[in-house]
Amino acid sequence: MGTTNPIRGKRELEKFKNYYLEKEKYRNYLLIIMGLNTALRISDILKLRWNDVYDFQNKRYRSHICLVEQKTGKKTMIAVNHSLHEALVMCRKDRNEEDFLFCTHSDPSHAISRYQAYRIIRRAAEGCGLEGHISCHSLRKTFGYHAWKQGVPPAMLMNIYNHSSYQITKRYLGIEQDDMDYVFRKIDL
């Protein structure tokens, strides 16, 4: 298995995001949207319950997802953007507070496995003809790559990812020669 890649092209990313939406498989669509818009690890995504994203008492979606990251043990708070909110609305239906966001089809009290999440991501990548090794971690890396391309400072991404070193964040960004070529061509002194 090679290094996990971010999805770099905008057109490819749109195709990938919409793969399950077009098939009306909303849980799988939400998994992709959640991963792309939160930069969370798949282990943290899969443990989310509806009560983490929806306030049942006040009957409204939460503005932030608050959780303690499994790997780092650090508390993190993620703003729910428009794309994620819309995907959540599509999926909620008759869910209860303790139901998992990404539950098995047969039992809302059981989350899908990491391997099932991987198969969902791989099937979408293959269905869209994406090259390279695309996995659950690609969603996290894709967030960082596109944030960096839109001008988010790497130090901010390091903080979002809870990385202990800048070197790890640099590797996540998936910066390639064409990205460096663009900088050299743009800075034409």
Q: Which comes out higher in pLDDT, residue 119 or 176?
A: 119
User: Domains of the chain, with CATH numbers?
Assistant: 10-186 (1.10.443.10)
Q: Which residue has the tokens 């799988």?
A: 28
Element (H, E) at 142: helix 136-149
Cβ atoms of 172 and 141 within 8 Å: the answer is yes
pLDDT of residue 2: 56
pLDDT of residue 1: 44
The answer to whether residue 167 scores a pLDDT higher than 80 is yes
E strands, 27-69, where? 54-55, 60-61, 64-68
Stated pTM of the model: 0.90
d(CA 164, CA 42): 19
Instruction: Name the residues annotated as catalytic.
Output: 41, 71, 137, 140, 163, 172
